[in-house]
Amino acid sequence: MLSSALVVLNMIGGGCSSGDGKEQNPPTSTTLALSTSKLSILSDGEDKTVLTVLYNNTEDVTAKAELFANDQPLATSEFTTTTPGSYTLKAVYDGVTSNTITITAVSGESAEGITLQASKTAIYSDGGDFAVLTLKTGEGYDVTAQGEFYVDGEKLEGNRFSTTKGSLVPVTVSAKFNGIDVENRVQISASSSYTFTYRVLLEDITKTGCQYCPTVICLIEELRKDAQQLVVPYSIHNSGCPIYRNYYSQATRKFADSFCDFVGVDYSVAPKLYLNHSKNEENEDLLKVDGLRSQAINGPKEVAIALESSLEGTNIPVKVTIGSKKDFSGKIVVVLVENGIEANQTNMGTIEMYRILRAYAPNVTGEAKTFTKGTPTTYSTTFDLNTTKVMNVNNCEVIAFVTDDVDGLSENVQFAKVGEIKGY
């Protein structure tokens, strides 16, 4: 689970020009990021969570910062307690206050009220898909760190269940909390006939000074309301927009330019819409929410993607696992995007920019791979927060998609917040 965030104290001000007017000077931003080694501890005075504080993504100032739990100062960067409850942690350094993290301290003397949960109750039996197992208190606090998990009586290493053995009979998952049996059980089925969920990829070239871009922005706003997001959009602000020139790193601007090169358009044009990594532009006036959802529901279901990432200091390591029901050659593309950035959009006023491109890995065309039926394929990469100059990593997501070399189109796409783990 993600246990850190970056706080932006000086947010973006004003809008952007259309490329021929005066531009603003880059704002100054100061970030103080607090992270913890775990989000739950036993209230025995010995179990602990360790706090780490980073200043502007790079400097470890843990020893210099003031640390607080429920606004009470801490003597060290290790937090322990003998009193059960929830504790809000924060740090202050050089006049800057960090993000807050809430951890849970539990007595561990009883498993009453603790429930076992699984991210899903059916998986594909190729060894790459998995169900994530968690323990929650009655108040909804995650106490997985104090748990042990068992499948048909055999202890798991960690809190994920995957298998290469399909069965007509579901396995039974049980758990212990601090060595005490958790009352409920979960059954999970594993089969090669598991049905994959297909999603449509929507790539949008945009800029804040574009009078026609609100049409696409409104389309994306409708799609992001879906409880189960079957259409996965993200936005590339092109070089005609000072969002990249003024507020983001040169590396990120180059990634935006590389997408324009990929589809063959000028760096300053917008809006431009592309489905499933096609180089053929879509007419934004003809794309409708219901039509895109229908395309996803009725799309191919032969490829699936599992996605996991974490935050390690100033790096975001990502692991992508692809399951396939066919043999083919293709490519894997991973995208780092960020939400929560506000800017002045022509004809719309100040709005949040949704899923702004930060970086591609390894590049916009992807990592070449051979995919084999029934055998998972993996790809790992790392995004550097210093290079991408992310404003708030807590608002970041990772998007991964797989293309087929036959037509170059996306076979499927998956998305997750940084720190989130998703199976197929």
pLDDT at residue 21, as a whole number: 33
> Is the torsion defined by CA of 235, 201, 390, 11 positive or negative?
positive
Judge if 246 and 340 occupy the same domain.
yes
Number of domains, the chain: 3
Q: How much is the pTM? A: 0.86
Q: Is the Cβ–Cβ distance between 98 and 52 less than 8 Å?
A: no
Q: Do 166 and 102 share a structural domain?
A: no
Which of 172, 191, 210 is the last residue before a domain boundary? 191
Same domain, 317 and 402: yes
- Is residue 26, in this structure, part of any structural domain at all? no
For position 239, what pLDDT does the model report? 84
Residues 167 and 309 in one domain: no
Q: Is residue 163 located within the same domain as residue 311?
A: no
**The predicted structure's pLDDT at residue 26:** 40
- Asked if residue 19 belongs to a domain, the reply is no
Query: In this structure, what CATH number is given to the domain that contains residue 363?
Result: 2.60.40.10
Which one of 50, 81, 106 terminates a domain?
Answer: 106
Structure tokens at 175: 């758990």
CA angle, residues 377, 381, 385, in degrees to nearest 5: 155
Provide the CB-side half-sphere exposure for 282 (13 A, CA).
18
- For residues 240 and 368, membership in a common domain is answered with yes
Question: 395 with 327, same domain?
Answer: yes
Which amino acid makes up residue 148? E
Give the tokens for residue 321.
Answer: 């696992």
pLDDT by residue (tens digit) across 102-140? Answer: 999 999 999 999 999 999 999 999 999 999 999 999 888
Q: Is the same domain home to 37 and 162? A: no
One domain for residues 98 and 159: no
pLDDT at site 12 = 29
151 and 82 co-located in one domain: no
**Domain termination residue (choose one: 86, 106, 126):** 106
For the chain, residues with pLDDT lower than 50 are 1-28
Q: CATH no. for residue 122?
A: 2.60.40.1080
> Which domain, by its residues, includes 310?
200-422
- Report d(CA 329, CA 27) in Å as an integer: 45
My answer on whether 299 and 328 are in the same domain is yes
Q: What's the pLDDT score for residue 29?
A: 55
3-state secondary structure 187-250: EEEEECCCCCCCCEEEEEEECCCCCCHHHHHHHHHHHCCCCCCCEEEEEEECCCCHHHHHHCCH
pLDDT tens sequence across 37-75: 999 999 999 999 999 998 887 789 999 999 999 999 999
Q: Within a domain: residue 17?
A: no
Q: Single out the residue of 229, 227, 228, 248 nearest to residue 237, CA to CA.
A: 248
